[in-house]
C-alpha cells in the first residue's frame, strides 16, 4: 500500500508533498515517512495519506484554463524595460520643452 | 563531583574506571552498526532498508560520541579502532553475531533487545559524575527511542500470523542469552570503582533485572515466550566483553579494517579538524 507524504517545516506553514512510502498501515507509514523525510531535516509535522484516497484530475481529461488567448492578462504584457522608461522620460521632456517654446 | 569535570583533572584510577565504562559502550555501538550494514540492499523492502541503514548510521554516530570520550584521555583513532587487537574489543557478542541469512526477525528482535538495554543503560549514565559522559546522554537517548519504536513496531507486525510469530520466537530463543551479556562489565575489577565514583548511578544486575522485566512484558503481550536463563551459567560460551568473542567477530574485524590495511594508511584522517593534525 502506498502512502503519500506531506511535510511541514514550521508551525503555520503548508504541508508540502515530498514523496511516498510503501507501508502496510498508518503507523508503519508514519515511521517510514519520518525516516525518509523528517529525521534529518527541521520538521514540525508530517502527514501520510493513502494514495487511493487522493482525488485527482489532469489536463488530459479536463481543461483547467488557458483555452482562449488571454496573454494580455499576464504581467509580461507590460514592458518594464528601464531603457523604455528612459525613452519615455526623454520624450516627455521634449514635449514639455516644445509646449514651453510655443507658449 | 566537580573533581570529574573533564579529562585534565583525573587521577590514574579515575581514568582507568572511565575507560572500563566507556569502551564497552563505544564498542557495542560500533560493532552492531557494522553488522547492520550487511542488510543494505537486502532488507525486505526499500523502506525497511532505509530504516535499518538509518539506525546503523545513528549507532555509528553514538560510537563516535563515546570514542571521543576516550580519545580525550589520549587515544587516537588507529589505536581505538583500526589497529586495536580484536581481542581487546569489549562489545557483547550480541553485536557481532552474524544474522541468520535473510532472517528479518533476527534484525528487528536484535534491535529491540539491544535498544531496550541501551535505553536503560543511558538512564543510568544521565547523572554520571564525569561530565563528558553525562552531557552526551540526551542526544543519544532521543535516537534510541526511535530505534526501539521501529523494532517493536516491526515485531508486532511479524506476529500477526503464526508463521511470522515463529520466526520471532526463534530469534528471541537464539538471541536472548547473548543479550543478557550486554549487562556484563567490560573490566570486572573496575565495577566497584565505577559505582563508588558515581560514573554510573545504577548497578549492572539492577539494570539487567529491569531489562528482563521490560522485554518479558513486551513479548508476553504478543504471545512470544522468553527463555528463562540461569545466571551466570546460562550465558553463552562466547558472550563477549572480557570473555571470548564469537568466532565470526574476527571476520567482521577483518572486513572493517581491510581498507585501512590495504591502503597502508600511516594515519587516519577524521572529519573533525581537532583530530586531524597527525
Cell of A36: 525518509
**Distance (Å, whole) CA B229 – CA A38:** 40
Number of domains in chain B: 1
Q: Does the bond joining B259 to the residue before it have cis omega, within 30 degrees of 0?
A: no
pLDDT of B278 reads 36
Q: Are residues A7 and A42 in the same domain?
A: yes
Per-residue pLDDT for chain B (278 aa), expressed as one digit of tens each? Answer: 446 889 988 999 999 999 999 999 999 999 999 999 999 999 999 999 999 999 999 999 999 999 999 999 999 988 999 999 999 999 999 999 999 999 999 999 999 999 999 999 999 999 999 999 999 999 899 888 889 999 999 999 999 999 999 999 999 999 999 999 999 999 999 999 999 999 999 999 999 999 999 999 999 999 999 999 998 899 999 999 999 999 999 999 999 999 888 887 766 666 555 544 43
Q: Are residues A49 and A78 in the same domain?
A: no
Q: Does residue B73 lie within any of the structural domains?
A: yes
pLDDT of A103 reads 53
Largest CA distance in chain B: 58
Q: Are residues A48 and A72 in the same domain?
A: no
Given a contact cutoff of 8 angstroms between Cβ atoms, the answer to whether A49 and A6 are in contact is yes
Among residues A14, A32, A54, which one ends one of the domains? A54
Q: Does residue B86 lie within any of the structural domains?
A: yes
SS3 at position A51: helix
Q: Quote the domain boundaries for residue A91.
A: 68-103
pLDDT of A79 reads 67
Q: At what angle do helices B162-180 and B204-221 cross, to 10 degrees?
A: 180
Q: Cβ of B50 and A31 within 8 Å?
A: no
- Nearest Cβ partner of A21 from B47, B149, B153? B47
Q: Does residue B28 lie within any of the structural domains?
A: yes
Q: Are residues A9 and A40 in the same domain?
A: yes
Q: Cβ of A32 and B54 within 8 Å?
A: no
Q: Does residue B269 lie within any of the structural domains?
A: no
Q: Does residue A50 lie within any of the structural domains?
A: yes
**Distance (Å, whole) CA B240 – CA B91:** 6
**Distance (Å, whole) CA B206 – CA B48:** 34
Cα-Cα-Cα-Cα dihedral of A83, A84, A89, A93, to 10°? 100
Establish if B139 touches chain A: CB-CB under 8 angstroms: no
Q: Tell me: the pLDDT tens digits for A22-35?
A: 999 999 999 999 99
- Say how many CA atoms lie within 13 Å of A23 toward its Cβ: 28
Establish if B57 touches chain A: CB-CB under 8 angstroms: no
Q: Does residue A61 lie within any of the structural domains?
A: no
Measured in angstroms, the CA of A69 and the nearest CA of chain B are apart by 47
Given a contact cutoff of 8 angstroms between Cβ atoms, the answer to whether A81 and A31 are in contact is no
Q: Does residue B273 lie within any of the structural domains?
A: no
Q: Does residue B207 lie within any of the structural domains?
A: yes
Number of domains in chain A: 2
Q: Does residue B32 lie within any of the structural domains?
A: yes
pLDDT of B155 reads 97
Give the best residue of A2, A32, A33, A40 to mutate against chain B (max B CB count within 10 A): A32
pLDDT of A58 reads 86
Q: Does residue A87 lie within any of the structural domains?
A: yes
Helix, strand, coil shares, percent, chain A, to 5: 40, 20, 40
Q: What was the ipTM of the complex prediction?
A: 0.71
Cell of B260: 585501512
Q: Quote the domain boundaries for residue B37.
A: 7-262
Q: Tell me: the pLDDT tens digits for B11-35?
A: 999 999 999 999 999 999 999 999 9
Closest Cα partner for B190 from B34, B66, B22?
A: B22
Q: Are residues A9 and A39 in the same domain?
A: yes
Closest Cα partner for B243 from B178, B159, B161?
A: B178
Q: Are residues A8 and A39 in the same domain?
A: yes
- From chain A, the residues in CB contact with B46 under 8 A are 22
Q: Tell me: the pLDDT tens digits for B240-249?
A: 999 999 999 9
CATH number of the domain to which A38 belongs = 3.10.20.520
Strand partners, A21: A3
| Residue B159 CB contacts under 8 Å (≥ 6 apart), including other chains | B165, B168, B222, B223, B224
CATH number of the domain to which B229 belongs = 1.20.1260.10
Q: Does residue B277 lie within any of the structural domains?
A: no
Sequential DSSP letters for B69-104: HHHTTT--HIIIIITS-GGG---BHHHHSPPPTT-H
Given a contact cutoff of 8 angstroms between Cβ atoms, the answer to whether B53 and B40 are in contact is yes
Q: Are residues A10 and A38 in the same domain?
A: yes
Measured in angstroms, the CA of A15 and the nearest CA of chain B are apart by 21
Amino acid at each position: 500500500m502506498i502512502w503519500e507524504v506531506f511535510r511541514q517545516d514550521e508551525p503555520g506553514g503548508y504541508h508540502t508533498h515530498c514523496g511516498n512510502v510503501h507501508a502496510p498501515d498508518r503507523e508503519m507509514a508514519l515511521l517510514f515517512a519520518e525516516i525518509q523525510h523528517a529525521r534529518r531535516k527541521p520538521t514540525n509535522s508530517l502527514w501520510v495519506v493513502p494514495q487511493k484516497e487522493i482525488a485527482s484530475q489532469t489536463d488530459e481529461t479536463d481543461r483547467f484554463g488557458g483555452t482562449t488567448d488571454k496573454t494580455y492578462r499576464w504581467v509580461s504584457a507590460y514592458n518594464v524595460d528601464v531603457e523604455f522608461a528612459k525613452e519615455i522620460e526623454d520624450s516627455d521632456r521634449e514635449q514639455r520643452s516644445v509646449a514651453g517654446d510655443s507658449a | 563531583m566537580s573533581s570529574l569535570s573533564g579529562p585534565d583533572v583525573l587521577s590514574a584510577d579515575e581514568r582507568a574506571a572511565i575507560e572500563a565504562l566507556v569502551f564497552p559502550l563505544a564498542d557495542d555501538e560500533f560493532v552492531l552498526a557494522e553488522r547492520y550494514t550487511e542488510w543494505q540492499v537486502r532488507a525486505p523492502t526499500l523502506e525497511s532498508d532505509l530504516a535499518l541503514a538509518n539506525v546503523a548510521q545513528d549507532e555509528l554516530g553514538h560510537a563516535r560520541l563515546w570514542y571521543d570520550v576516550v580519545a580525550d584521555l589520549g587515544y587516537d583513532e588507529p589505536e581505538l579502532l583500526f589497529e586495536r587487537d580484536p581481542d581487546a574489543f569489549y562489545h557483547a557478542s550480541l553485536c557481532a553475531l552474524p544474522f541468520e541469512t535473510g532472517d528479518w526477525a533476527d534484525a528487528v528482535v536484535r534491535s529491540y533487545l539491544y535498544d531496550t538495554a541501551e535505553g536503560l543503560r543511558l538512564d543510568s549514565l544521565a547523572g554520571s559524575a564525569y561530565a563528558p559522559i553525562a552531557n552526551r546522554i540526551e542526544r543519544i537517548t532521543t535516537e534510541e527511542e526511535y530505534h526501539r519504536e521501529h523494532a517493536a513496531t516491526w515485531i508486532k507486525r511479524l506476529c500477526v500470523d503464526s508463521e511470522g510469530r515463529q520466526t520471532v520466537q526463534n530469534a528471541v530463543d537464539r538471541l536472548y542469552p547473548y543479550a543478557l551479556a550486554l549487562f556484563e562489565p567490560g573490566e570486572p575489577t573496575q565495577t566497584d570503582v565505577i559505582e563508588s565514583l558515581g560514573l554510573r548511578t545504577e548497578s549492572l544486575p539492577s539494570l539487567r533485572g529491569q531489562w528482563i522485566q521490560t522485554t518479558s512484558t513486551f513479548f508476553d503481550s504478543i504471545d512470544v515466550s522468553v527463555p528463562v536463563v540461569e545466571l551466570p551459567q546460562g550465558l553463552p560460551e562466547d558472550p563477549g566483553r572480557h570473555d571470548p568473542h564469537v568466532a565470526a567477530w574476527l571476520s567482521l574485524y577483518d572486513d572493517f579494517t581491510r581498507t585501512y590495511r590495504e591502503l597502508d594508511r600511516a594515519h587516519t584522517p577524521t572529519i573533525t579538524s581537532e583530530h586531524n593534525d597527525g
